[in-house]
Amino acid sequence: EPEVTQTPSHQVTQMGQEVILRCVPISNHLYFYWYRQILGQKVEFLVSFYNNEISEKSEIFDDQFSVERPDGSNFTLKIRSTKLEDSAMYFCASNTPGRQPQHFGDGTRLSIL
């Protein structure tokens, strides 16, 4: 069964550094999402992306965050200047328009030192 794949599985970064999290959505999916999960808390929506533009973003997704689909297969989340509170699991998800569910990857654990 096709899967959403995320790399790296664990990223350790110094505070203030830029980080890029990478996702390969399922190949025929056209909607892409990023969610985050701070340890022990609920999964929170960050952003949805369709047709090469952001469809919706939460208040968490401020100017430090950006998303990109640089080619036909990858979907990336960039955090420009990381803060300690950015430490979390980041999940990528995808689905086809009008069809559910969203399929999630196994996440990238981001640790900010």
Partner 1 sequence: GENVEQHPSTLSVQEGDSAVIKCTYSDSASNYFPWYKQELGKGPQLIIDIRSNVGEKKDQRIAVTLNKTAKHFSLHITETQPEDSAVYFCAASNLRNTGNQFYFGTGTSLTVIP
Site string for partner 1, 27-66 (x = CB under 8 A): ----x-x-x-----xxxxx--x-x----xxxx--------
Q: Among 79, 64, 99, which Cα is nearest to 18's?
A: 79
Nearer to partner 1, 33 or 75 (CB): 33
Shortest reach from residue 15's CB to partner 1, in Å: 25
Q: Among 52, 55, 38, 42, which Cα is nearest to 90's?
A: 38
Q: Rounded to an integer, what distance in angstroms lies between the CA atom of residue 103 and that of residue 109?
A: 18
Nearer to partner 1, 11 or 102 (CB): 102
Position among 16, 18, 106, 111 found at the interface with partner 1 (CB under 8 A): 106
Judge residue 4's burial from the number of C-beta atoms within 10 Å of its C-beta, 0-12 exposed, 13-18 middle, 19 or more buried. buried
- Edge-to-edge strand list for the sheet holding 75-79: 5-7, 19-24, 75-79, 65-68
1 binds partner 1 (CB under 8 A): no
Residues that bind partner 1 (CB under 8 A): 4, 6, 31, 33, 35, 41-45, 48, 50, 55-58, 91, 95, 100-107
